[in-house]
Structure 1
Amino acid sequence: MTVGLGLLFLCCGSAPLSASLNISVSHYQLKNGLQVILSEDFTLPLISVAVTYKAGSLHDPPGKSGLAYLIENLMFLGSDNVGQMQHIGYVTRTGGTLNAATMADRTIFYQTVPSNQLALVLWLESDRMKSLQVSPAKVEAAKNELLSELRRRHQETPYLEAFFRFDRMLFPAPAAHRPIIGLEEDIKSITYEDAQNFHRQRYGPQNALLCVTGSFNTLQLRDLVNRYFESIPRSHDTLPPPVLPEPDKTSGMETSRAASIPAPSVLVGFRIHSARAVDMHVLTLIDYILCRGKTSRLVQRTIKRDRLASQITGSLERRGDLAAYRIFAVNNSEYSARLCVGSIYSELARMRTNFISEEELNRAKNRWKKDLLNRLSSRADKALFLSELALNYGDPRAGSLDIGRFQEVTPLMIAGLLNRYFYKENSQVLYILK
């Protein structure tokens, strides 16, 4: 079934202008369980192919953090008909680009190539889906690469260990706070059998999603998808996702000291106990109101007015059905870091008791819509966006519903979630000091 997603965007200005962005989307499933999403776009002779596996750090076995990330690396080390690193060579020789990413609940491989190379990319992705070659030597090579990257990140990101520590504070369940890249001792303990079993359990077609966007003939593309993917057998060892217990609504405060950090800083986080879809839309707009842009509340309060921070950012993070909102502020002294936390609490208290104006809420919605438009400006980003909708809602055509939920958010809904989660007794604080 193919439908057009009518997405309504309001442009910033004194008189809002509306523009319709129609995305043609086809969504179906092969007999082996592989979900397929097709979206035509003939503006340029390019196509993007994204394959998403429901395998991420949440699924790493206990004591084996980094395993999903290791499999991401192994996926480039050869399959039955494609040699080591040849996938990259095939794509780049066409003038194409490619990338991959491991997240808490998924691993994504995506590439953009000229549209006449569509069959090549489908063949490459199908070959490693059905016949990835995992060997003890390749596992050891991938482990060494991960260990090198982990050491490099520690050198380049002085706050990294503090970020890992804060994850443990926000998400007490071990499966939820495992670093995606893994811990050094866990990476060293990964065996060939661990990698082989994890791949067999998590990387079958019934646990994957194929999305193609760009300039193609839909009937021809369906034939290609059937030719390359339909014969791949299901994996019979798929494991259910981990069940994450909800953490208590309690507060915590810790201090981390590291001589290598460039400046004293502080992390403040609020646990969100049920990441319901309707709440995520409100929480996203709270993020925009608090930390996105020069006019956001915490930028104006902590940087412009109180001069307690030189930088402040916020992020909404999900771990399965759990979520948290994280604020990171860079300060010029330990004293200003402690005062900065007080300013954050004070601004949140003001927002809990005084509704934000419709004007301020509409500014946040407009910034979000602008960012969404930017996400849809390339075929690769569009493929990732449609894949995300399919994973989050079970249907990539939920885009119009997604937009509608954002438009329906009211000041009362903002205040309701702020009062439910954003208060001192439900906060975790980590001071990062020299």
Structure 2
Amino acid sequence: MRIKTSLLGVLALFFLPTISAQEVSFEEYDLDNGLHVILHQDNNAPVVTTSVMYHVGAKDENPEKTGFAHFFEHLLFEGTKNIKRGEWFKIVSSNGGQNNANTTQDRTYYYEVFPSNNLELGLWLESERMMHPIINQIGVDTQSEVVQEERRMRYDNSPYGRWREQMFIHLFKKHPYRWQTIGSLEHLANASLDDFKAFNKTYYVPNNAVLVVAGDISLEKTKKMVQDYFGPIPKGKDIQRQTFVEDPITTPIKAEYRDPNIQIPAIFLGYRTPAQTNRDAYVLDMVSTYLSDGKSSKLYKKLVDEEKKALQVFAFNGSQEDYGAYVVGALPVGETSLEDLQKDIDEEIGKLQSELISEKDYQKLQNKFENMFVNSNSSISGIANSLARYYMLYDNTGLINNEIEIYRSITREEILEVSNKYLKPNQRVALEYLPLEATEN
């Protein structure tokens, strides 16, 4: 298995320059059952990715039954009517392939990467997952243990593992973004087998999914195989989605959380931001990069290099389908207080809000985003993911080729304007993330 996997990786890397230099061509259409299909042909390397993205994430869950979307990421590898329990990964690896899945609050994504002579195998696997999943108590019990261990490792026992959870329960009061994809273990434990079957029947249907096939393929042969394997799958009922509108944050929200896994405190400042399709979300990407992406960023140079007040500085703009969250924070050095760090961060944001960034810094930003854009399309599996994501969450598959034009068109004036619009002290959550106090004898 290792030899085959390594060969697959070498082939992909060998042809990397050719892939990254080309515009991504694609063809898209719908099957009668509502499944959206996107095909990308690139015959430079004998590699193919088959992937399916379902429009279901943590935000689609019942508030009393959270964690289902992430749980299904695991559960649907348990087996199908034609794939015995425990055989899925063996089938993939024994045929020289790799596979994985991931879940966000907006969608769930499954994929396989095979040598291109196993294209049909990849399509069969994903059609089996969609049409013939086995959802029984054995699988539920098995994956419950897996999810429990994942939560312990990534959240409960991980330093700073619960900062996002704590931030989002304050940023969002109405929207399901207020809980994390891992969900509640108690909710999962109390769920019935019928609850899991109902979730599958509702969301894992062709009219709630996009299939992407990318790589060394023949378009006509692939279309026939797609029709053969996915065409017979029945269309599901139309999904009724709720709309959640948050009240604006108009006064500062102060929060505190004590983590038994840390010794150094941290300050997190979080701002609610617009949906990822909103132009302002793209501007906030640039703001985030300007402030803390790399050692040459403004906050890192000031707080870590020059003033030596912080061990680490970070910021990101986490845009999602309905809302986003811009978060900036730092870990102090020595006697530096969280209050001092917050003041310094505010000063740097204030500069961004009061004066245009320099032409040199602006060009540096543009160069970084050009580089990120090229890298996102530098592998067949990356292209498959982007095609699915742009179709499902942006309703514009063509962004895979022209999203960079949005970043190119952003001006220095917009960066100043958007910083003032969203990064106001009265519109944020200030989370002090602290060590657990020692118990007094």
* TM-score (normalised: structure 2): 0.90
The alpha-carbon deviation at position 358 of structure 1 amounts to 2.6
SS at match of 1:245: coil
Secondary structure class of the residue paired with 2:317: strand
How many Å apart are 1:306 and its aligned residue? 2.4
CA distance in 2, matches of 1:373, 1:428: 35
Measured in 2, the distance between the counterparts of 1:191 and 1:421 equals 42
* RMSD, aligned CA: 1.8
The answer on 1:107 being equivalent to 2:86 is no
Q: Match of 1:75?
A: 76
Contact kept in structure 1, 2:308 and 2:333, CA below 8 Å:
no
Deviation of 1:257 after TM superposition, in Å, equals 2.3
Gaps of 5+ in 2: 1-19, 436-441
| Rounded Cα–Cα distance in structure 1 between residues aligned with 2:205 and 2:357 | 47
Question: Who is 2:22 aligned against?
Answer: 21
Whether the 8 Å contact between 2:24 and 2:401 is mirrored in structure 1 is no
Aligned partners of 1:307, 1:318: CA distance in 2, in Å? 31
Give me the whole-angstrom Cα distance separating, in 2, the residues matched to 1:333 and 1:191. Answer: 51
2:322 match: 321
Secondary structure class of the residue paired with 1:129: helix
Structure 1 segments of 4+ aligned residues over 4 angstroms from their partners: 273-276
Aligned pairs for 1:96-245 within 5 A: 96-154=97-155, 156-173=157-174, 175-236=176-237, 238-245=239-246
Say whether the 8 Å CA contact 1:176–1:319 is kept in structure 2. no
Could you tell me which amino acid in structure 2 is paired with residue 46 of structure 1?
V
- Once residues 334 and 75 of structure 1 are traced to their aligned partners in structure 2, the CA distance between those partners, rounded to angstroms, is 50
Q: 2:231 and 2:89 mapped to 1: Cα distance?
A: 24
Give me the whole-angstrom Cα distance separating, in 2, the residues matched to 1:82 and 1:238: 28
- Offset of residue 156 of structure 1: 4.5
Spell out, residue by residue over 1:344-388, the C-alpha distance to the aligned partner (whole angstroms, 9 max, x if none): 110011110101123212211211221222222211111111111
Deviation at 1:214, TM superposition (A): 0.6
**Matched residue type, 2:225:** L
Q: Which residue of the partner structure matches residue 347 of structure 1?
A: 348
CA distance in 2, matches of 1:397, 1:412: 27
1:287-366 equivalences under 5 Å are 287-333=288-334, 335-366=336-367
Q: Distance in 1 between matches of 2:227 and 2:263?
A: 54
On the 8 A contact 2:57/2:105 being kept in 1, the answer is yes
Deviation of the 1:165 alpha carbon:
1.1
Give the TM-score, by structure 1 length. 0.91
1:362, 1:69 → 2: CA distance?
40
Q: Take 2:399 and 2:252, find their aligned partners in 1: how far apart are those partners?
A: 36
Most deviating of 45-54 and 328-337: 328-337
Q: Which stretch has the larger CA shift, 356-365 or 270-279?
A: 270-279
C-alpha distance 150-303 of structure 1, shift in aligned 2 (>3 A): same
* Corresponding residue SS for 1:120: helix
Q: Are the aligned partners of 2:55 and 2:203 in contact in 1 as well (CA < 8 Å)?
A: yes
Q: Contact 1:308 / 1:337 at 8 angstroms: preserved in 2?
A: no
SS in 2 for 1:310: strand
Of 63-72 and 156-165, more deviation after overlay is shown by 156-165
d(CA) in 2 for partners of 1:207, 1:381: 21
Q: Distance in 1 between matches of 2:214 and 2:416?
A: 39
Tell which deviates more after alignment, 305-314 or 337-346.
Answer: 305-314
In structure 2, relative to structure 1, the CA distance for the partners of 1:276 and 1:112 (3 Å cut) is: closer
Distance between the aligned counterparts of 2:334 and 2:130, measured in 1?
Answer: 51
- Using the alignment, how far apart are the partners of 2:43 and 2:321 within structure 1? 36
Q: Secondary structure at the match of 2:295?
A: coil
**1:96–1:113 contact (8 Å) kept in structure 2:** yes
Counterpart Cα distance in 1 of 2:139 and 2:216: 36
- Identity score, percent: 27
Given the superposition, is the C-alpha separation of residues 22 and 400 from structure 1 closer, same or farther in structure 2, using an over 3 Å criterion? Answer: closer
Moved more, 408-417 or 250-259: 250-259
Q: CA 1:400 to 1:224, structure 2 compared with 1: closer, same or farther past 3 Å?
A: same
Which residue in 2 is equivalent to 1:62?
63
Shift of residue 325 of structure 1?
0.3
Shift of 1:104: 0.6
Residues in 2 aligned to 1:33 and 1:338: alpha-carbon distance in whole angstroms? 54
Q: Secondary structure at the match of 1:209?
A: strand
State whether residues 25 and 40 of structure 2, in contact with CA within 8 Å, keep that contact through their aligned partners in structure 1.
yes
Q: Distance in 1 between matches of 2:21 and 2:97?
A: 30
Structure 2: distance between partners of 1:135 and 1:268: 43
Q: Which runs of 5+ in 1 are unaligned?
A: 1-18
Q: Secondary structure at the match of 2:234?
A: coil
Alignment match, 2:266: 265
Task: Give 2:384's aligned residue.
Answer: 383
Cα gap change, 1:174/1:281 in structure 2, threshold over 3 Å: closer, same or farther? closer
CA distance in 2, matches of 1:193, 1:307: 56
Q: Once structures 1 and 2 are overlaid, which stretch shifts more, 366-375 or 36-45?
A: 366-375
* Residues 168-202 of structure 1 deviation map (CA, whole Å, 9 limit, x = unaligned): 11222251121111123222222211111111111
1:137-172 CA distance string (max 9 Å, x none): 322222222122212224541212333111111222
